[in-house]
Amino acid sequence: MACRGADGAYPPLRKRGIFPLAEERLIPVGQRKLMSTLRAGDLLGFSGSGWLSAGINLLSYGIPYWDIAHVGIVAEISDDVFPVWCGPHVDCNVGRYTRPGLYLFESTIDHDISCKLCPGVTSGVQAHYPSDSVSRSRGKVWHYPLWRELRPLESRRLTRFLIHRLGTPYDTIGAFRSAGRGFSWLESLLRKEDLSGLFCSELCAAAHRHINLLATENISRWNPNRLLRTERKQGILRKPGRVK
């Protein structure tokens, strides 16, 4: 992951949508508007196109192939957060040679794509370029912007929190337990939250709680559709825009 130029300096960071020019040329025209408006703390929701995505939507009172079956959170890597050890699950650190920019942190069971910050990580919590995740998605993609821009300290806290959880295993059982309003409520009473494994919306809920945006006693109760609906209702997220 190259970063410095010939003069030893880092490439200039754009005010929003922090991507090097070489990568911008690879971003489809239809996605460039998204890349210019993404901010730290925003969420990207994916509808998916397979039977698993359809099942997640049905269990969480969503419309298959339209509502959200997977969600990720955007964070900014900048000089202010270096160096950061990734945490107990992986033996690497995000240091000076990591390219600054916006990354999408998501927890997946996909073993085909490796993490951009810790290449050895191929499942669980990973970080990817947002444009790559949007391009790979075979379903619809929605951008849920925060109601306000994060303050610099909030953004750094969010990034450090997410980096420290890279490599955390995917919580498959927890994902199924979060389905259904009554079942997830009962599960939250019987089972304490556990950050040793994270499914996608559990990661996003934990991150928003960490920077005091979402008030919740148990992050394990949040499935993708409930998290997005609740944060929209509470004014944490603004109206989503369809990206793809």
pLDDT computed for residue 20 by the predictor: 43
Distance between CA atoms of residues 179 and 58, nearest Å = 9
- In which element (H, E) is residue 44 found? strand 43-46
pLDDT computed for residue 91 by the predictor: 61
Q: What percent of the chain has pLDDT over 70?
A: 61
Task: Locate 199 and state its tokens.
Answer: 């499914």
Task: Locate 79 and state its tokens.
Answer: 């000089």
* Mean pLDDT within 42-59: 64
Q: According to DSSP H, which parts of 130-216 are helical?
A: 130-136, 152-163, 172-177, 181-190, 200-210
Least-confidence region, from 161-165, 219-223, 225-229: 219-223
pLDDT computed for residue 197 by the predictor: 86
Percent of the chain that is helix, strand, coil (3-state, to 5)? 35, 15, 50
* Mean pLDDT within 199-221: 92
Of 101, 163, 94, the closest CA to residue 126 belongs to 163
**3-class secondary-structure state, position 241:** strand
User: Over 90: is that where the pLDDT of 105 sits?
Assistant: yes
pLDDT computed for residue 143 by the predictor: 94
pLDDT computed for residue 14 by the predictor: 39
Q: List the domain boundaries for the chain.
A: 21-238
Residue 99 contacts residue 20 (beta carbons within 8 Å): yes
The residue with tokens 């379903």 is 139
Least-confidence region, from 100-114, 150-164, 226-240: 100-114
Classify domain 21-238 at the CATH class level.
alpha beta
Distance between CA atoms of residues 126 and 119, nearest Å = 9
**3-class secondary-structure state, position 132:** helix
Rg (CA), the chain: 17
**3-class secondary-structure state, position 108:** strand
CA angle 53, 64, 58 (to 5 degrees): 80
Using left for φ > 0, alpha for ψ between -120 and 50, and beta otherwise, residue 124 falls in left
Using left for φ > 0, alpha for ψ between -120 and 50, and beta otherwise, residue 235 falls in left
CA angle 21, 22, 27 (to 5 degrees): 85
* Mean pLDDT within 196-201: 87
DSSP-assigned letter for residue 55: H
Q: How far apart are the first and last CA of the chain?
A: 27
- In which element (H, E) is residue 24 found? helix 21-24
**3-class secondary-structure state, position 105:** strand
